[in-house]
Structure 1
Amino acid sequence: MNSNHLDKISLFVLILIIVYTFQIIYCQEDKIVALEKRIQDLEARQQQYPEVTFLTYKDRKRILVTGGAGFVGSHLVDRLMLAGHEVIVADNFFTGRKRNIEHWIGHENFELINHDIVNPLYIEVDQIYHLASPASPPHYMYNPVKTIKVNSIGTINMLGLARRVRARLLFASTSEVYGDPEVHPQKETYFGNVNPFGPRSCYDESKRVAEAMCYAYAQQEGISIRIARIFNTYGPRMHMNDGRVVSNFVLQALQNEPITIYGTGKQTRSFQYVSDLVDGLIALMNSNYSMPMNLGNPDEYTIEQFATKIKELVGSQASIVYKDPVIDDPKQRRPDIGLAKSWLNWEPKVLLSDGLNKTIAYFRNELLVKHHSNRNVFFPNEWLHLSNINAMNLDKNIEL
């Protein structure tokens, strides 16, 4: 074999080696690109949190919110988290939903405990917002014995926790303690007109006894307590089937179904937007006032006026129908908020039309959810500064 032939073979082998090397490099580049894409996908799916205020250990509190996955509780959790506190939510998810607070799960300042407060809870906290209780008639009438246990045994457990760790406790009471009032508007000094043996008594009377227990623990054990008597509240994250006036009317109007009024429609109610209530709860917790305090909107509407208002805002063609009145349904409901104004410098700020428009938008999006992976997420105003919020793979309902 001559040298020219060997040179040709060597050149051919060299070319094969070069080609093979380039193929390896090209394949590796494909693998690198694929890996980079996977990393980008994982980063896109990673939970994004809003920026929270930083508090030093002296200012940061550990706060327990019972019922924190519920309608009002989840909005309170948002506000406390954004303020920089460590928040623990205890909820058994009877009426609460994990979706209401899932945007905080995994955050270093947040903890979720699936717990029924009828059973004792042993943790260390500085403040307790005790909101756990079904709050709408269909829910608290579904299991009246359980409702009584939550508001009596559950409240004793929370008061016991407050006594053990010397925490301040705010109890979420209700305007229902006034029953069908004979005094209008209702002041905190009014003792109420409650039927102790009716279908609503499981809720009304258990809230009244819970207030009595708070007072007794404060007097006997020196516990720092706050009592908020909450009037009708509405807003995003309301349960779709809670049977309350706002959710019923909005859903019926959106679906062009007859808007149902029980009774003549002349009975009155006062409606406050949820953000106003949260402002009041936080102000009351951090105040020096320890007697019961009304938190509600003094603007009063008949149920008939309210139904017409929602129908107009939705642009619905639904008719209004009247049915038999509900047993023990109050004829008038309007808070006197003089105490809240003088002690907390608090009064509602959100106009009814503005609050209803946000609520209607939330319910409209809720009706569009057709799959478990869909999300109708309500973000508070404080989230809007996030540059990456639009990158989240969620169906959004952003409060504007």
Structure 2
Amino acid sequence: MNGLYQRATARSVALIGNPNTGKTTLFNALTGLSQRVGNYPGVTVERKTGKLELAPGRTVELVDLPGAYSLAASSPDQMIAADVLLRQQSGTSPIDVVVAIVDASNLRRNLYLVSQLMEIGAPLVVALNMMDVARSGGIGIDAGTLSQRLGVPVVPMCANRREGIAELRGAILDAFEGEHQQSPAVPIFPETLERQVEILRESASSMGADGDRRLSRVEAFRALVDEGGYTEERLVAEKGEELSGELARRRGEIGISAPLLSIETEVRYSWINRILDGCLSQSTEPRRTVSDKIDMVFTHRVAGMVIFIAVSALVFQGIYQWSEPLMGGIEFLFSGLGSLARAILPAGALRSLVIDGIIGGVGGVILFLPQIAILFLFISVLEDCGYMSRAAFLMDQLLSRCGLSGTSFIPLLSSFACAVPGIMAARTIGDRR
């Protein structure tokens, strides 16, 4: 096991996986109503935690990390996920066990993140979710063989049907107690790359104010491979500009002309293909699922745009028109309260404070509550039904010309009604710019 995860004292489990793998459903199934929602320190990324009962009298904290396709962070959400796993996020407890939830119907793509998680060194449990979808698509998975080849427990399950939940709890408990742990079969990278990673770890340990902190292998690898990425930025801020020059020298010493990120991708997918050989079978020709058919319509160049305009018009109508009666009612209520206070209180500083300060101030803020509530209702519905990702895909090419991502359409749309919900909805944009 990696030294980073030896002698852990906290009792925390991290739940991580690709977007749209049923992570939220599994989190709700494991924690029930014992959940807390807040923000990570210094950022607006949501932090969701809950109590997970593994056995009678044995309760641990379950942390629902933001969805990520890779530890090569490209958004604030993915940055937080990587930092929590690497124990570099302030205000969070160290993670003892990692649960990676994967989509059984798209196993090859999902194992990319799993291959990175295995290198961290934390006890890992793979939750093979959406087995029903895989079976309906004629996909067969030998979970036992897959577990042996990965060297970590693999639990087949259907979170939406509560199937496999008890088995997953048991696997997490075994991971805490150190049972059934093997040496994970991690991908093997070119020797020249691994050598420069170790040299970087050694040289960086003496840099910066905290010269005693030695970089983990994953930190050094990510900083070296993700040129100009988040890990490099964080480590340069921590260690100083001296690290930038050291990274450039190490990259030059590797002696590989191809981009390091493409080398990583090639190595990982070759590893995945070897792992899945004989574990994954397709009994029939791949069938178009309902989701595939919906995608063909909602992401169509013409039909998709027509649907997008209709949905946008509905959101705009809701924010701008449907909130008018509620806003009028709130305005009438606070106007009445002001008139009542004016009739009761004598002229003077106290009346001015109550009418103009308290009633007027509170009323001015609450007046926008209907618009904000309707906006978040729409965002919640669009995210839960899966339309947000389809609309983002449809609009990404157009908005990218303006330096925006596809998810920017909600803030842009809602800002026509009021800047406040537009600013609040901007948290759906992954890019800080």
TM-score, with structure 2 as normaliser: 0.26
| Normalised TM-score (structure 1) | 0.28
Over alpha carbons, which structure has the higher Rg?
Answer: 1
- Report the structure, 1 or 2, having the larger helix content: 2
